[in-house]
Amino acid sequence: MSLAATKDTLKQRGIRLTRQRQLLLELIDQSGKHLDAESLYRMAQERDPKLNRVTVYRTLKLLKEGGLVDELDLMHYGGDQHYYETRTKQEHAHIVCLRCGKVEEFFGDVLQRLRRQIETTFGFQIVIARTEIGGYCAHCQVLRAQEMTEARLDTAAAGAKPARP
């Protein structure tokens, strides 16, 4: 979404695009990451030291209510932490590694087919769809396999030791 379109969207909702709001939108959109509020605050502080934490939280709430930002839990990898992304992208799925927290985005026709199938099967009008898939990235699969092997060896070694009186 362009800056002009963002301003129009906010204006239609009676919200002014302040310098702080624009800064936060830019950081969320251009970071290439899914940022939590605290990370966003630290990044914003680097560009505008006068920006305070309360402004960041209030702005995130406002942008979410204004339909410009989505709030995600990303498989609760960070506990109760929420992450933010702008709504400028087409619908996509979030693929989350449950070990390292790496997040990938999947765009594809399969999501649109699933959406159409749900609408047809249930007579349901989908307004928004969020898909999250949890598992282990290739790197963490290797680490998990190594850990499992080490655990089996430790268990076997512990069983082979003579019992102590």
Please tell me the total count of domains within the chain: 2
CATH classification of the domain holding 65: 1.10.10.10
Same domain assignment for residues 114 and 77: no
Note the pLDDT of residue 88.
65
Q: What is the pLDDT of residues 17-48, one digit of tens each?
A: 888 888 998 898 888 788 899 999 999 999 99
Q: Residue 2 — very low, low, confident or very high, per pLDDT cuts 50/70/90?
A: low
Boundaries of domain holding 146: 90-165
Note the pLDDT of residue 77.
78
Span of 26-40, 50-64, 107-121 with lowest mean pLDDT:
26-40
Last-in-domain residue among 88, 109, 136? 88
Q: Following DSSP, what letter does each residue of the chain receive, concatenated?
A: --HHHHHHHHHHTT----HHHHHHHHHHHHSSS-EEHHHHHHHHHHH-TT--HHHHHHHHHHHHHTTSEEEE-GGGTTTT--EEEETTSPP-EEEEETTT--EEEE--HHHHHHHHHHHHHHT---S---EEEEE--HHHHHHHHHHHHHHHHHHHHHHHSPPP-
